[in-house]
Amino acid sequence: MRLADKVALVTGGGVGIGAAVARLFAREGASVVITGRRKEMLEQVVTEIERAGGRALAVAGSVADEGHARSAVGQAVRAFGKLDVLVNNAGIGAFGKALHETDDATWDEQLAVNLTGVFRMTRAALPELIRAGGGSIINVSSIAALVGIPSIAAYSATKGALNALTRCLAVEYAEHKIRCNAICPGLVDTPMAAPLMADPARLAEVLSVYPMARAGTPEEVAKLVLYLASDDAAWMTGSIIPIDGGMTAQ
């Protein structure tokens, strides 16, 4: 198993990509701590993992809360003894408004969750990763950080900053044997994308720029996260990796 004896913390682990990552990590031998704002969704994922013979713990809360970040890391270490992997997956979208239509509250919320939340979770986790003798941080960014997409300026700005943060972390913590990489998914069939997936006309328009002509699945994205978390990626750090059905290859 590729993550045997590892302990991983996955934010936004109750649904979508985060839940898929948690399930896959557990199957590959990791003890998994998942966080998110909806306790019932987290507990459902934990139950699924435990029924399959894995080990998991749910810690409800928001990455925008500094106290929650510290608590989640602390509970992971108390429950499983250490921390080896952090997956910063929690994020929210703000779609459909031009920049001049975007209010301060929307802008601030995007920053608080998608960027400051990553900063706080990573800051809390780094001492434990150093104590463990190294580890892996995987940030879930977006193709919106790589190409211009109309009507999602606030979201795109947070993801562009996340890519920059990823590179800085990779350089700064390499001496501690901590790797940091980011993945940039395109359209993935998750609850965040549900309104688009339910609108055939809009979906067809979006997929017209995807060479593979379909959305990705959370499970497909989770396999890339697993690779980056595992020792198979031991010489990878600071990488920004699209996983998008060829959308950004054009």
Residues known to be catalytic: 155
Question: Residue 146 in 3-state DSSP?
Answer: coil
Show Cβ contacts of residue 39 under 8 Å, excluding neighbours closer than 6 positions.
Answer: 58, 60
Q: Is 12:59 a contact under the CB 8 Å cutoff?
A: no
* Strand ranges inside 37-133, DSSP E: 55-60, 85-88
Could you give the strand order of the β-sheet that contains 7-10, starting from the edge strand earlier in sequence?
A: 55-60, 31-36, 7-10, 85-88, 135-140, 178-185, 240-243
Strands 178-185 and 240-243: parallel
